[in-house]
Structure 1
Amino acid sequence: MHKRLAIQLIAALLLSGGVWAEGAKPAALLNNFAWRHQADWFGGYSGIHIFDGGTRMIALSDRATMLDARIDRNEDEITGIEIQRHWPILSSTGKVLVGTAGDSEGLAIAPDGGVYISFEGVHRVAYYSDPTGPAQVLPRPKAFEVLDHNGSFEALAIDRLGRLYTLTEKSRTVSGDIPVYRWDGLSWSTPFVLPQRGKFLPVAADFGPDGRFYVLERSVSLTGFRSQLRRWELNGDTPQSEEILLQTARGTHDNLEGLSVWRDDQGRLRVTMISDDNFLALQRTELVEYLLPD
């Protein structure tokens, strides 16, 4: 997160309120857990993956750090989080990523257990067969070179066929739509676009266990953060049946940037989102969970 945006976020936090947005909200809030830790590397979380059952997670910081943690629960409430280990994200040469090159944003877990990470700043996606090992950077087409410097690949998702989907936070098509890029293991393509809705910008994506494509979006202003969650059914390369599952008022949650959709032990469809505190004392790291309609 760049200094200019950080200043805007501080102003938003100082002026934020807590009024709920009007209109239907098919997603039902389950819990909101404020997560605190004293380590200087803790914070800036922009990616999350919840493993089935909801007791384990991997979280990604936008300062090239990952962690593996256990989640303690009492029914629908998160009661605690215990970090099992953390490690730095490496370059393809095995060096610790720093600065712009280490602006790690999106997270997707491959079927083989490997990890894909999308990066802003230097626009790219990398694969880690061992999450603690060196990167294998995927090819970068020319289309990536002209993307907004601080507004590219915050979102990353993987479908049941192992294909990656990433979409830009700010860069748009000439008609104003959100381009979606797909990696099929051989090359990148743009199979479809998504419509822009208001001032919300995409910051995370996931394919749920229901096979639908979910996108978390954020809006920030001087009166606080807002979050929007949308989903689509994909019929081939055509997104259909768009639904707005959640749209919050300013100040309802912090800066939600990570998204994981999963089923609990009761078979219910749930979403866990994590906030990026930008390493600012005025913000907080929180895990927010909602129950979703099937």
Structure 2
Amino acid sequence: MSGSRHRPLILAFLISTLALPSYGKASVEYVGTFVWSLPEADFGGFSGIEISDDGSEFHILSDRATIRWGRVDRDPAGRIRGMQMSGRARLQDSQGRMLQPGWQGDSEGLAMADGGGFWVSFEGLDRVARYDDPDQPAIRIPVPDAFEELPVNSGLEALAADQDGTLYAVPELMSQATNSFPVWRFRRGEWDQPFSLPAASKWQSVGADIGPDGRLYLLERYFRGILGFQSRVRRFNLAEDGVSDEEVLLESTTLQYDNLEGISAWSDGQGIRITMVSDDNFLPIQRTELVEYRILN
């Protein structure tokens, strides 16, 4: 039988293979999981996390407009053995009013600023705010018209900042028109939308960070109803006008972890460490997990 009739199929297969994200470039190893709980009514719902450069301190954001910070206790192998809080605050709006859970207080993304302070992205009333002090009013950042067009409960979920203080905000749902996640960038007082990230319909963008290697790390979630959650992490080389070298670092199995929503990338001296935190939705059947992996190259 002539092979010519199969050439279109072979060509289609090769094209689809080239279009797939790259697997296996990085060596990734599991470090550990720590389950955290405190007997406080507002403990939980964590959607953003930042770990200090040496892995010893944390800031963690709840989706009910509260932020906590403190020390990470680790064993000699670097695994988390405790989270010691040193402070917490309820976020305020720019007028000094305490934000309440819901439309105005649905805080989702967290990014630390060099020299102190942090930024928070909000879903619902989609916006990004700056805080020089967690106990002081928010500093307003302009809201572009595009934010007002984001779907309800599917808006700004992921937020990252580079060393120059440039912000990158990513919505939860991909654009159906382009099959991609639009990325909004804020620098020098203005927003633009310079590029998008390739996306697949089942995955939602839930967290982002820019690592010490300058690459963009994206945490995604796939909710499978009663079957639970799956998570994956991709990273990209980040340039002025786009991303390249898309790489899938890990993809969990169903029920392997809870609802991972926040991610922080830092260096532990042996490679890039990624720390992820789960949102328990304040439900007794879920839990707050901190999950860590090390990327060796």
| AA at the equivalent of 1:108 | A
> What is the match of residue 245 of structure 2?
241
1:45-84 paired onto structure 2 within 5 Å: 45-74=46-75, 75-84=77-86
> What is the match of residue 146 of structure 2?
143
Kindly indicate whether residue 286 of structure 2 is the aligned counterpart of residue 283 of structure 1: yes
Question: How many residue pairs are counted as aligned between the two chains?
Answer: 271
Taking the aligned partners of 2:122 and 2:63, their CA distance within structure 1 comes to: 9
Q: Which runs of 5+ in 2 are unaligned?
A: 1-22
> What is the match of residue 267 of structure 2?
263
> What is the match of residue 42 of structure 1?
43
CA-to-aligned-CA distance 1:207-255 (integer Å, 9 cap, x gap): 0000001100000013110001000102321201000001111101000
Greater relative CO, 1 or 2 (CA 8 Å, sep 6+): 1
| AA at the equivalent of 1:192 | F
Kindly indicate whether residue 94 of structure 2 is the aligned counterpart of residue 108 of structure 1: no
Taking the aligned partners of 1:235 and 1:36, their CA distance within structure 2 comes to: 39
Taking the aligned partners of 1:271 and 1:157, their CA distance within structure 2 comes to: 14
Q: Secondary structure at the match of 2:104?
A: helix
Kindly indicate whether residue 193 of structure 2 is the aligned counterpart of residue 201 of structure 1: no
Q: Secondary structure at the match of 2:152?
A: coil
Taking the aligned partners of 2:281 and 2:180, their CA distance within structure 1 comes to: 28
C-alpha displacement at 1:159, in angstroms? 1.1
Decide whether the 8 Å contact of 1:26 with 1:246 is kept in 2.
no
> What is the match of residue 88 of structure 1?
90
The root-mean-square deviation of aligned C-alpha atoms, in Å, is: 1.4
1:155-194 paired onto structure 2 within 5 Å: 155-172=158-175, 174-194=177-197
Taking the aligned partners of 1:81 and 1:163, their CA distance within structure 2 comes to: 29
> What is the match of residue 210 of structure 1?
213
Q: Which runs of 5+ in 1 are unaligned?
A: 1-22
| AA at the equivalent of 1:66 | I
C-alpha displacement at 1:51, in angstroms? 0.3
The verdict on how the C-alpha distance between 1:171 and 1:123 changes in structure 2, with shifts beyond 3 A counting, is farther
Taking the aligned partners of 1:171 and 1:230, their CA distance within structure 2 comes to: 15
| AA at the equivalent of 2:36 | W
Greater shift, 248-257 or 73-82, is seen at 73-82
Taking the aligned partners of 1:210 and 1:88, their CA distance within structure 2 comes to: 32
Decide whether the 8 Å contact of 2:272 with 2:294 is kept in 1.
yes
Taking the aligned partners of 1:149 and 1:204, their CA distance within structure 2 comes to: 18
1:95-134 paired onto structure 2 within 5 Å: 95-98=97-100, 99-134=102-137
C-alpha displacement at 1:173, in angstroms? 5.5
Taking the aligned partners of 2:141 and 2:273, their CA distance within structure 1 comes to: 31
Taking the aligned partners of 1:26 and 1:138, their CA distance within structure 2 comes to: 39
C-alpha displacement at 1:198, in angstroms? 4.7
Could you list the structure 1 runs, at least 4 aligned residues long, displaced by more than 4 angstroms after superposition.
none
Give the alignment's TM-score, normalised by structure 1: 0.89
| AA at the equivalent of 2:41 | D
Taking the aligned partners of 1:270 and 1:253, their CA distance within structure 2 comes to: 17
Decide whether the 8 Å contact of 1:147 with 1:171 is kept in 2.
no
